[in-house]
Chains A and B, each alone.
Chain A
Amino acid sequence: MKRTEVGFLVITLATLGGFALLIYYSLVQVTPPMPPAAVAGSELWQEYGCMECHAILSSGGYSAFDLTKIASQLSEKELREFFAQPPHMPPHSKRIHVSLTEREADEMIAYLRYVSEIDTRNWPPPPVVEEMGLKERKNK
C-alpha cells in the first residue's frame, strides 16, 4: 500500500468510527419501543404518503400542517372527527383529505400520539412573541 492510501484510509476509518460511536450513543437513548397500534399507524402514514404534504420531526412537505405535536394540541375526539369527516384540502376547493376507517383512525392516532411524545428538544418552538410574553409574566 502506498503512503497516501494508508493516510487516507486511516482518516476515513477514524471518521467513520467516531461517527458510528456517536450514532450508537444516540440510538441507545432513543424513545422506548412503539406499541403495535403505533407501528400500524406508521405503516398507514407511509402507505398514504402523508409526508408529501405534512411534516413530522421537521421532514416532509410544507404545504400542510406540521403534525409533530398535533396529538398534544388536539383531543382524540377532534382527531377522530377529522378522519371520519375530512375537510377539503386548501387551497383546493374540490379535493378532499383522505378519510380513515375507525380502525385506521385508532392506529393513526396511536402513531401521532407516539410521535408527539418524542423529546424533540422543544421543537417546533412556540412563537417568539409567546416565549417573550411568558418571560415577562414570570419576571412580574
Chain B
Amino acid sequence: MKLVKLLSKLVARLRPQRDSEATEEEKLYCSQVAAIPYFLAPLVFLALQSLTATFGALDLVVPDLPIPINLETGRAFHLNLSILWPLLGCMGASYYFLVEETKRELHSLRLVTLQFWIFVLTTIGILTSLMFGYLRGMEYEEAAFPFHVSIAVTLAIFFYNVLRSYLKAPKYRGRMTLLAIVSGSVFLLLLYVPNIINYNQPTVSELVRYWVIHLWEELSKELILFGVLAAFLLKVSSLERKRLERILFVQITLLIIGATFATGHHYYWIGLPTLWQWVGGIFSGVQIISISLLLYILYLGLTHLNWIDLDLGLKLTFGFIIASVCYHIMGAASLGMVIALPQINRYSSATYLTSAHAHFALYGALGMMVLAISTYVLTRKAELTRKEYLLSWWGFGLNNLGLLTMGAALTIAGVLQTYLQRVAGIDFMATIAFLRSYLFIRTLGGACFAAGALLYAKQILWCYWRNRHYFN
C-alpha cells in the first residue's frame, strides 16, 4: 500500500513537469511570431506615456519649473497614447488568439507586419507633431488629418485580415471567442471613419468624438479583450468551452446593447435632446451586468486552474488579469455608473471625477488586460529568471499603487470640486487653488506609476530580448 501511495505521489509530481515540457515544446505559428511586435511596442509607449504625463502633471502643481514638457503637450501626449497603445495591444492579441482558436495561420503575414509599421510610424508622427504644437482640437484625437487617415488605413487592414482569417476556418466559425474578435475589429473601423473629418459645429464634433472616446474603449476594445480573455482561459485552464461560450454570448450581447446606448451618458449636456438622459442612464446599468459577468468568467477560470502548473509568466499574467477585473468593477463600472446618472452627472461632469474614472477605465481596466496578454505572449518562449520575476512584481505593485493613488486623489479632488463649485458656488479659481494639494498627490502617484511601468517594461522586454531566438 505504501508503495502505491509513494508511486502515486511520484506520478503527481511528475505530471506538471510533463505538462510544462509539452507547453515549452509547443511551437508558435508564424502568424503568432509576426504578432510579437504588437506586444513589445505597447510596453515602450506605456513607459513614454507615464513619463510625459508625470511631467505635465508636475507643470500644473509646481509652476514655472524648467521642464521639457509643459502641461498642454504632456496632456496631449498622454491622452493620445492612452488610446493608441492599448489599441496596438488589442490588435496583436486578436491576431495571436485568432490563430490559437482557428488553429491555422492568418490570411496574410505581410499585412500583419505592414500594419504594425504604419501604426508605429503614425504614432511617432502624432507625438512629433504634438511636440511642435500641431493640434486639431479634438480631445484624445488632437493629431492632424493625415495621421487620422493613416490610423484608419491600419484599422482597415486589421479588419480585412481578421475577417479573411475567420472565413478561412469554416470548422471553427461561430465560436463566440472568434465572433467577439471579428465584431471588435469591425466596430473599430466603423466608429473611427467618421472621426477622420473635423467638425466645426461643436455639438456634432462632440457627438462623433464619443464614438471613439466611449465606444472604442467600452465596446470595440472590450469585445476584443473579452474574446481574447475567454480564448486565453480555455487555453490555460480546464474550463469547458461550451459552458464558457454560453456565458460569453450573454455577456457580449449585453455589452453590445449596453455600451452602444450608454454612449448617451456623454450626450446629456452637449445640445442634444433630453431623451439621451433616459437612454444613457438606463443603458449604463446594462453595462454593469456585462462587467459582472466578466467577474464570473474570471472566477470560473481561476477555479479551473492548476496553480502548481503555472509558470512565472502565467502567474504575472493572472496578476494583471485580476487587477484589470478589479478596476473594471471598481473604476469603470461602479464609479462610471455613479457619474453616468444624469442627476449626479449634471454636477460632476467636467470635474476631476471624470478624470479619475478615465484613469481607472482606460488604463486600469483596458490597459492592464492588454499588459496581461502581452506578458503571457512574451513569456511563452522566454523564461523569466527569479530576479526578473520578483522585479516584475515590484513593477506591477508600484504601478498599481501609483494608479490607486492617482485615482483616489482625483476622486477626492472631483468630489470636492463638485461640492465647492457646483453646490457651494465658490469661485473656480479659488476651488482650483484648494485642489492643488490633491493634484500634487496625483503627481506623486503618477511618478510611482511611471516607476512601476518602467521597471515592469524593462524586465519583460529584457527577458524577451535575451530569449528572442526561441521565438523564431
Give residues in A with beta carbon < 8 Å to B: 2-5, 7-8, 11-12, 15-16, 18-19, 22-23, 25-27, 29-31, 33-34, 38-39, 42-43, 45-53, 55-63, 65-66, 90-95, 114-115, 118-121, 123-130
Contacts and interface: CB of A to CB of B under 8 A. Distances in A.
Contact of A15 (B63, B260, B433): B260
Given A30-B203, A42-B202, A93-B64, A57 B271 contact: yes
A52 B76 contact: yes
Given A49-B137, A91-B433, 7 more contacts: A4-B179, A22-B275, A52-B72, A55-B350, A118-B270, A126-B425, A127-B423
B207 A27 contact: yes
Contacts of B64: 92-95
B429 interface: yes
A136 B270 CA distance: 30
B274 interface: yes
A90 B59 CA distance: 11
Interface residues of B, number: 69
Contact of B355 (A19, A58, A62, A121): A62
A138 B174 CA distance: 63
Nearest to B179: A8
B350 A62 contact: yes
A115 B274 CA distance: 18
B261 interface: yes
Interface of B: 60-61, 63-64, 71-72, 75-76, 133, 135-139, 142, 173-176, 179, 183, 198, 200-204, 206-207, 209, 249, 252-253, 256-257, 260-261, 263-264, 267-277, 279, 346-347, 349-352, 355, 417, 421-425, 428-429, 432-433, 436
A104 B171 CA distance: 63
A129 B371 CA distance: 46
B204 A27 contact: yes
B138 to A, nearest CB: 7
Given A46-B138, A127-B424, A62 B271 contact: no
B200 A34 contact: yes
Given A39-B200, A129-B423, A2 B174 contact: yes
B258 to A, nearest CB: 9
Nearest to A7: B249
B206 A123 contact: no
A125 B347 contact: yes
Nearest to A62: B352
A121 B179 contact: no
B271 A52 contact: no
Listed from nearest, the 7 A-B pairs whose CB atoms lie closest are A46-B137, A127-B425, A2-B174, A123-B269, A49-B135, A118-B271, A52-B72
